[in-house]
Structure 1
Amino acid sequence: MERTVYDESHESFRKVIREFNEKEVVPVFAEWEKAGAVPRDFFRRLGELGVLGFDVPEEYGGPGPTSFKYQAVISEEMARAGVAWGHYGVNTGIVLPYLLRLATEEQKKRWLPGIVSGDLLLSIAMTEPGTGSDLAGIRTVARRDGDEYVIDGAKTFITGATLSELIVTVCRTSPPTPTDRRAGLSLIVVERTREGFDVSRTLDKIGMKASDTCELSYTGVRVPAANLLGEEGQAFRHLTANLPRERLSIGVNATSMATAALRHTLAYVTDRTVFGKPLASFQNTKFVLAECAAEVEAAQALVDKGLELDDAGTLVPADAAKIKLIGTETAGRVIDKCLQLHGGYGYVLEYPIARLYADTRVTRIFGGTSEVMKTIIARSLGL
């Protein structure tokens, strides 16, 4: 089906990103995966390309208000090329919006220009050992001491912390109330160089090899009170406000990966000969890929609707939950079927389908599990 979500400016931007990937990412991506992260200077190159500061006001070096569709184009082109830009999506698509919405004027002057240039990278530390999706169970404590916070605790499954200069950390600044377990949480920006802060371990994942995922420890970390982001005790409200965009972005990524898997598999079954005939000539192959194509287009239509709603400022949590649920579950099914058509070769990392299979699995977990998405959707139905 013809997509109508993009205009000429988006397609011109797509051409720039496609050429950039072909020249500067594809030739070295295997090295990045072996290293477990992209080179730090690569993000400064992204700053030169102008893709780190979407929505940053012009007075801080950014382009001003920018449609999320441009970030969607980047996701689609990364999937098409079979590459990833490390924790770019977390930095620009997830954490930056918190600063744009919540930072004081002093904080914006201090941080935004470096974020636009790539001199300052961002990550966010929410999850803790044993908490999972239950943010109310956070135990990392920030105690006020004069004009500073003293932070003690631990975080896990944190993306991009080994490269990031600024880590937005969810801390408990006061006890929960009897009626609200989520009360008393605050967002505090911690500079990686602070004494007592440590990336204690880098986790070895089954996928997303070019993006580091870490465990963090905070031992008496002293941070200026001026690093409080937003209102003290209101972290849960701040986090919730950003979740629809985050979940839309995950739906975009998952659907882009499913589209790439379908394209790779069509090429493979056309070239592959089995029992003296092209694999594409078998009825089973035709039926499987026809089903995959229909599922991917259905998911894409939902994603495109979400992009339009986001542009209009009307994307609500239940809509975003539907997009993430359908996008990620569809990608899981489609990529699994595509790998099956590759036979044994699908299990070998030399073939793009193997990386897509490993990378897509986590999309049903991070940003809220599929089960959490179903709960949100059910609640919107009055259940």
Structure 2
Amino acid sequence: MDATTGLSTGLSYGLSEEHEALRKTVEEFAREVVAPVAAEHYVQGTFPYDVVRQMGRMGLFGLPFPEEHGGMGGDYFALCLALEELARVDSSVAITLEAAVSLGAMPIHRFGTPEQRERWLPRLLAGDGLGAFGLTEPGAGSDASMLRTTARLEGGEWVIDGAKSFITNSGTDITDLVTVAAVTGTGPDGRKEISTVVVPSGTPGLAVAPPYSKVGWCASDTRELGLAGVRVPEDHLLGERGRGYAQFLRILDEGRVAIAALAVGLAQGCVDESVRYAKEREAFGRPIGGHQAVAFAIADMEARAHTARLAYYDAAARMLAGRPFKRQAAIAKLVASDAAMDNARAATQVHGGYGFMNDYAVGRFYRDAKILEVGEGTSEVQRMLIARDLGL
């Protein structure tokens, strides 16, 4: 057992007692609390406030944070385990937790001053408030150097102008803040100086658009933001001025491990639902799972989920041990998102016409899977990162 990571260093990658206890607790919560209401929230496009409230009471939003700020004193791998179990039944709930922790609270924990942590973290870690990260813009996605949002100092305040797109958790009734990436000047090398500034919800000039109408993740909150003359105090700068680009690169590296865990959960959920259905549904005189074509399809699904899980376990272990993990995070995200998409397609096929219905979990899984190949770095970006790390 590696005492640093809580992961077995053997071939089985067995979990520590603490991690296994957490996994079982979240598995039970997902099955008994999340799953029964998932379809209703999905079809109606409503945010699951009650589920989020219960997740807060369980301490899930504080899992990888120290107790001094109201966290649970756990680690990032604990968060990944929780995300996997939640995504086995509902990716909307899982992405709400992932974004709130890795994109909302984590930047403040990693880069904030003691005063900023004391001011904002307690509510975020308790799940009483949600944080969002405003990076993507209408014309700046994978190429973050194309940022157009600006922030200038004026009279002891940051004045921010611009627009952000596809921002998760940015417009709920409990959203507390958005950390905005903005151009704050020009560096000595002539490149854009990018910094991050915390903008509390309700700040004049911050316009929150209605929720997007999405193909998947229909019960999560995703919106466009407009910033027109938004003014916040100078001390809302997060971390060192001009270090915003480096900050979000680190946050995105960590986030890819979390997204990989979420994708594994969806992939495993497809296996769960397909095994259940294949045992119950009969065709040609016996359960369809007795037909080799169906059995082999499900076997391939399990192999993909298992392989992807090992990939994110490895990336998480490296991260927690303080070893380089950029390549492994990219591999995990790439492999896991492919597994999710392939398993969702296969599970829909196993279910036949029922797989096309939103009342069945695999119908929702199919719609949820595609964004995993896009969000927090497209599959093409992951391949680019892997190739660069290989020296190509």
2-structure distance, mates of 1:71, 1:55: 6
2:176 aligned residue: 165
2-structure distance, mates of 1:281, 1:24: 32
Question: How far did residue 264 of structure 1 move?
Answer: 0.8
**Secondary structure of 1:305 counterpart:** helix
Unpaired segments of 5 or more residues in structure 2? 1-9
Moved more, 371-380 or 114-123: 114-123
1:195 aligned residue: 204
Matched, 1:120 2:120: no
Distance 1:323 1:36, change over 3 A: same
1-structure distance, mates of 2:354, 2:339: 22
Distance 1:217 1:308, change over 3 A: same
1-structure distance, mates of 2:40, 2:296: 37
Asked if structure 2 preserves the Cα contact closer than 8 Å seen for 1:26 and 1:83, the reply is no
2-structure distance, mates of 1:39, 1:285: 35
2:356 aligned residue: 347
2-structure distance, mates of 1:262, 1:21: 16
Question: Structure 1, residues 362-383: CA drift from partner, whole Å, max 9, x if none?
Answer: 0100111000011111111111
Distance 1:188 1:37, change over 3 A: farther
2-structure distance, mates of 1:42, 1:334: 26
Q: 2:75 aligns with which of 53, 67, 85?
A: 67
Question: Structure 1, residues 133-188: CA drift from partner, whole Å, max 9, x if none?
Answer: 111111111121021011111111111111211101111111466653xx311101
Asked if structure 2 preserves the Cα contact closer than 8 Å seen for 1:201 and 1:216, the reply is no
2:213 aligned residue: 204
Matched, 1:254 2:263: yes
Q: CA RMSD in A?
A: 2.1
Matched, 1:215 2:224: yes
1:330 aligned residue: 339
Structural mapping, 1:152-301, within 5 Å: 152-163=161-172, 164-175=175-186, 180=191, 183-301=192-310
TM-score (norm 1): 0.93
Question: How far did residue 118 of structure 1 move?
Answer: 2.5
Question: How far did residue 49 of structure 1 move?
Answer: 1.6
Asked if structure 1 preserves the Cα contact closer than 8 Å seen for 2:148 and 2:182, the reply is yes
Structural mapping, 1:23-34, within 5 Å: 23-34=32-43
Matched, 1:363 2:372: yes
Moved more, 145-154 or 111-120: 111-120
1:73 partner amino acid: L
1-structure distance, mates of 2:28, 2:277: 24
Moved more, 29-38 or 218-227: 29-38
Distance 1:283 1:119, change over 3 A: closer
2-structure distance, mates of 1:350, 1:41: 21
**Secondary structure of 1:128 counterpart:** coil
Question: How far did residue 23 of structure 1 move?
Answer: 4.2
Distance 1:110 1:35, change over 3 A: farther
Distance 1:338 1:21, change over 3 A: closer
2:181 partner amino acid: V
Asked if structure 2 preserves the Cα contact closer than 8 Å seen for 1:5 and 1:308, the reply is no
TM-score (norm 2): 0.91
2-structure distance, mates of 1:109, 1:298: 40
Distance 1:151 1:303, change over 3 A: same
Asked if structure 2 preserves the Cα contact closer than 8 Å seen for 1:29 and 1:83, the reply is no
Question: Structure 1, residues 197-232: CA drift from partner, whole Å, max 9, x if none?
Answer: 111232111111110110111111111111100111
2-structure distance, mates of 1:22, 1:285: 25
Q: 2:316 aligns with which of 307, 318, 325?
A: 307
Distance 1:324 1:22, change over 3 A: closer
Asked if structure 2 preserves the Cα contact closer than 8 Å seen for 1:244 and 1:315, the reply is no
1-structure distance, mates of 2:271, 2:54: 31
Question: Structure 1, residues 8-55: CA drift from partner, whole Å, max 9, x if none?
Answer: 212222232233334433333334324534344654433322222234
**Secondary structure of 2:71 counterpart:** coil
Asked if structure 2 preserves the Cα contact closer than 8 Å seen for 1:162 and 1:199, the reply is yes
Question: How far did residue 325 of structure 1 move?
Answer: 0.7
- Identity over aligned pairs, percent: 34
Unpaired segments of 5 or more residues in structure 1? none
2-structure distance, mates of 1:285, 1:42: 35
1-structure distance, mates of 2:65, 2:319: 17
Asked if structure 2 preserves the Cα contact closer than 8 Å seen for 1:6 and 1:69, the reply is no
2-structure distance, mates of 1:177, 1:369: 31
2:130 partner amino acid: L
Matched, 1:137 2:146: yes
1:135 partner amino acid: A
